[in-house]
Amino acid sequence: MTATVLVVDDEETARLVVSEYLGSKGYEVLNAGTLAEARKILNTGRADIIVLDVRLPDGYGPHLLTETAQLPIRPEVIIMTAHGDVSMAVEAMKSGAHDFIEKPLDLLNLEESVRRAANTVSMRRELNHLRASKLNLDTFIIGSTPEMLKVVELAKRAADAAVSVLITGPSGTGKEVLASYIYTHGARAGKAFIDISCPAIQPTMFESELFGHEAGSFTGAVKKKNGLMEVADGGILFLDEIASMPLDMQAKLLRALEERNFRRVGGTSLINVDVQVIAASNRNLKEMISRSEFREDLYYRLKVVDIDLPALEKRKQDIPELVGYFIRKFNARLGSNIEGITPRAMDALIQYDWPGNIRELSNALERAVLFCDDRDIDLNHLPMDVVAHHGRNTY
């Protein structure tokens, strides 16, 4: 995410140094020499972050804080204080400043502070997203890492062409969420979406679940039953945790996918179907193939499009956006009205390694929204694991 920083300082050289430095770090930078100029820019809604000097020709810088608080999307304000002016800094923080840094400026400190403010902005953008319009709580959050942009490009292609997709990735990285994204964005949206959790089906019942059975074909098969493959005709069959499918069933599934037809258990006639298969697995299917636990031919049949979801640890830049989304989601679900998260709590979320990936992040934020009685989520609302990780930093 690129954030736009407004630098407000009457000293032109100071302004230039800061602007050039932040520009070189990928921020978009705007400049103002007076409060009046700063207000003009603020009214355009373009500034995400303000780096603000205290003494300006037409007034006292921190007075802007009351005005920014009224804006629909509040920019984060970083105040530049004179060295040692602690009381002024404390005052500014109380009035809602994001941070303060001492002059003469240490550019590394400034960048660190701007980076944290950018995380807050990105979280808040997502949190305010569509607040007024239709609330879609089961969105697939894409983020901005190249890996995820690739994931979405592949997903859209697979959705358009309605071809088989194999989604892999560690537990909690969003394989099911992605499957439903493919469904809702594809040619088959609105048609059947049949979700089968393979581990939940008894091995002996698999064939009859998938292909159905004729009356009397086995003990207990009193009436004729259509299989899920038939129910999914024209739509999508989502085979979750496909690694749990018994080998004999894998062979039958492969045959059905190749021939686009199958027989019910105990049936003789062939039933034609047109289903798009999306399969997901958090296990390494290649390794299973080498141990003859998964059929190689089925593997290649499934992975016409092959999507591997990255662990959350590999896409930490996306954490602020995900945090904003989850606060929005759990606000709606729990009837809360949390406005955001403190910078140090955000830092803790970014530092943690998330072995349970997005599912773990989602659980942590659900808990935080539930426990938070303040305006913002803070460290004390986060799980112990997350905070313990963060313990190294001091505030």
Ligand X SMILES: Nc1ncnc2c1ncn2[C@@H]1O[C@H](COP(=O)(O)OP(=O)(O)OP(=O)(O)O)[C@@H](O)[C@H]1O
List contacts with ligand X (CB under 6 A). Answer: 140-141, 169, 171-177, 282, 358-359, 362
For 204, counting Cβ atoms within 10 Å of its Cβ (0-12 exposed, 13-18 middle, 19+ buried), the class is exposed
The two structure tokens encoding residue 169: 């990735």
The beta strands (E) that lie in 72-177 are given as: 76-82, 99-103, 165-168
The distance of closest approach from Cβ of residue 339 to ligand X in the complex, given in angstroms and rounded to an integer, is 21
Amino acid 114 reads V
The two structure tokens encoding residue 95: 């009035």
Nearer to ligand X, 185 or 263 (CB): 185
68 binds, among Mg ion, ligand X, none (CB under 5 to 8 A by kind): none
The distance of closest approach from Cβ of residue 179 to Mg ion in the complex, given in angstroms and rounded to an integer, is 9
The distance of closest approach from Cβ of residue 222 to ligand X in the complex, given in angstroms and rounded to an integer, is 34
The distance of closest approach from Cβ of residue 73 to ligand X in the complex, given in angstroms and rounded to an integer, is 22
The distance of closest approach from Cβ of residue 353 to ligand X in the complex, given in angstroms and rounded to an integer, is 16
174 binds, among Mg ion, ligand X, none (CB under 5 to 8 A by kind): ligand X
172 binds, among ligand X, Mg ion, none (CB under 5 to 8 A by kind): ligand X
The two structure tokens encoding residue 165: 């997709």
Nearer to ligand X, 185 or 224 (CB): 185
Tell me the backbone φ, ψ of residue 76, rounded to 5 degrees.
-90, 135
CA 342 to chain centre: 19
162 binds, among Mg ion, ligand X, none (CB under 5 to 8 A by kind): none
User: Are 275 and 230 contacting, i.e. CB atoms less than 8 angstroms apart?
Assistant: no
Nearer to Mg ion, 176 or 318 (CB): 176
CA 259 to chain centre: 38
CA-based nearest residue to 342, from 323, 360, 370: 323
Site string for Mg ion, 165-194 (x = CB under 5 A): -----------x------------------
Q: How far is residue 128's CA from residue 120's CA, in Å, rounded to a whole number?
A: 12
Nearer to Mg ion, 176 or 230 (CB): 176
Residues that bind Mg ion (CB under 5 A): 176
